[in-house]
Structures are given as C-alpha cells and as structure tokens.
Amino acid sequence: MQIETFENPEALALHTAQYIIDLVRNKPDATLILTSGDTPVHTYKLITQMAEPGLFDKTTIVGLDEWVGIPPTSEGSCRYIVEENLLKPLNVNPEVYTFFDGLSDDLQSECKRIDKILLDKGGADFMIVGIGLNGHIGLNEPGTPFDLYCHVSQLADITVSVGQKYFKENTALTQGITVGLKHLMEAKTAVIIASGARKAGILKRTVEEKPDPELPSTIFQLHADGRIWADEAAAALI
Ligand code: PGA
C-alpha cells in the first residue's frame, strides 16, 4: 500500500484530477469506477477545468454505489453528484457511463448488469473511493466479505446518520447497492482519497490493523496497487 500526503485539500484534489486526466490521455478507453461523496467534488470540478473536450468519449465509467430507494435526481445520489460535478459540465456522452439504479425493483439484476460491464472489461483500470468513518469502502460495510462482486448491503447506523449530510431533508436510508471489494481487488489501481482531521483515526486503523472484513478499508493492504492519497489533516496519525 502506497501512501501519499498532500499539504491541503486543494493539493490533494489537483493531484487526483491530474492523475485521472493523464491516465485517460494514456489510455482513452480506460474503465473507471468513480465515487460520490464530498471528498471528490473538488477533484471533479478541477477536471472540468483541466480536461480537453472529448477526453472521456471512449472511456467506460461506472458509479461506485447508490442508495437504495433514492432517485437519481436526488442531490444525495451518487449519480447526481458525479453527473453534476463532472460528467454534465464536460458534456460526457451518457452512453459511456452508468450508475446503479437505486429505484430498480430487481436489484440483483442491477448487480449483475454492473458486474458484467466490469468483468467484460477485465476489471477497472482505476477505482477511486472515499473512506467512511467506520472504514466502509463504497457501501461495503464492516463485515462484508472481501470476495463479493456487486451486491446489496444493509447500511451501518453511522452510514445512515453521516449520509444525511448529502441530502437537504432528513432521508430514510436503509440499504445500499455497491461495487464489491472483489472488483476493487481486480482494479489495476485503487485509491482512497481522504481529507480532513475527522478521517485521521480511520486512516490510522486502515494502515495499522490486520486486513479484516470487519474493517473493509484494510483490503487496501492486500491490493497490488492500492494507494491512499490524503491531505495532511487526514494523514496526521499515519
Ligand atoms: P465523504 O464520504 O467523501 O463524503 O467523506 C466518504 C465515504 O463515506 O465513502
């Protein structure tokens, strides 16, 4: 596991944006798994300023996860956050990207649909994730086996309460649908981005504890090219 520290959130976002742009310039048909959450928003905004038109035209982009029962038009959905901050401003063709449909009445088919995209591509070239305060990766909550592909998860209590920050109104969250950790292991490069002092404790545990499904982020220790990119506040304890 490689750890890189950046002076502040802006430097972290700039590095991440430049890395993604360079990756796609070198491999225009790259497969990317992109996360939502607060952490990547600045990165996505920078990409919209730095990328040339059409950069993502040949990529395959998959959204990391989605809240079950939440429509894609909700400001808290994964699709909304990635579309509004990255894909729409860049006019990325909707044919090259897809997200889980959290409203589907057949969530298992949704899982199989995303599995097939990733497996047909031979795994993602690059997967970027945030880290939950409980070590969740995507919506792979503590206790999730490392060898699952896409699946439906029961949300941890802390995920339900912290998740309220993405919504304007109090929102009932119970389940998630998520890219699984087996896809993470099969991604050529997997990166956790972390910003702010509240992530310092969980990053310390991620680095120091034995890999264990009870702390999903520890899977990064097992990844052939697993990286943590953190600003100084998040990296303060590692
Ligand atoms: P955040 O979310 O970027 O909003 O902190 C991280 C996560 O829970 O995956």
Tokens encoding 156? 């941890």
Kindly report the CATH class assigned to 2-231.
alpha beta
Could you tell me the pLDDT band of residue 61, with boundaries at 50, 70 and 90? very high
Which residues are CB-neighbours of 210 under 8 A, at least 6 positions away? 218
Pure H helices in 51-180: 78-82, 107-120, 157-163
Is 141 a catalytic site residue?
A: yes
pLDDT of amino acid 146: 98
Q: How far is the CA of 56 from the centre of ligand 1 (A)?
A: 24
**Residue from 77, 42, 34 nearest 163 by CA:** 77
pLDDT average, residue stretch 11-22: 98
Check if 38 has its Cβ closer than 6 Å to any atom of ligand 1. Answer: yes
- Name every residue whose Cβ is closer than 8 Å to that of residue 161 and which is 6 or more positions away in sequence: none
Q: Single out the residue of 53, 56, 118, 52 nearest to residue 82, CA to CA.
A: 56
Q: Confirm or reject: Cβ of 37 under 6 Å from ligand 1.
A: yes
Which of 101, 110, 136, 140 is catalytic? The answer is 136
At 180-237, the pLDDT tens digits run 999 999 999 999 999 999 999 999 999 999 999 999 999 999 999 999 999 999 999 9
Q: Provide the pLDDT confidence category of residue 71 given band limits of 50, 70 and 90.
A: very high
Query: How far from the centroid of its chain's Cα atoms is residue 21's Cα?
Result: 17
Ligand 1 atom index nearest CA of 138: 9
Q: What pLDDT score does 9 carry?
A: 98
Instruction: Report CA(133)–ligand 1 centroid distance (Å).
Output: 8
Instruction: Give the per-residue pLDDT at 216.
Output: 98
Q: What are phi and psi of 187, to 5 degrees?
A: -75, 140
Output the pLDDT for position 162: 97
Cβ 39 under 6 angstroms from ligand 1: yes
HSE on the CB side for 102, CA within 13 Å?
Answer: 25
> Which of the residues 134, 151, 183, 223 is marked catalytic?
134
For 38, the token pair is 């607060």
Every domain of the chain and the residues it spans: 2-231
Q: pTM (2 decimals)? A: 0.98
The single-letter code of the amino acid at 6 is F
Closest CA to 39 of 161, 134, 166: 166
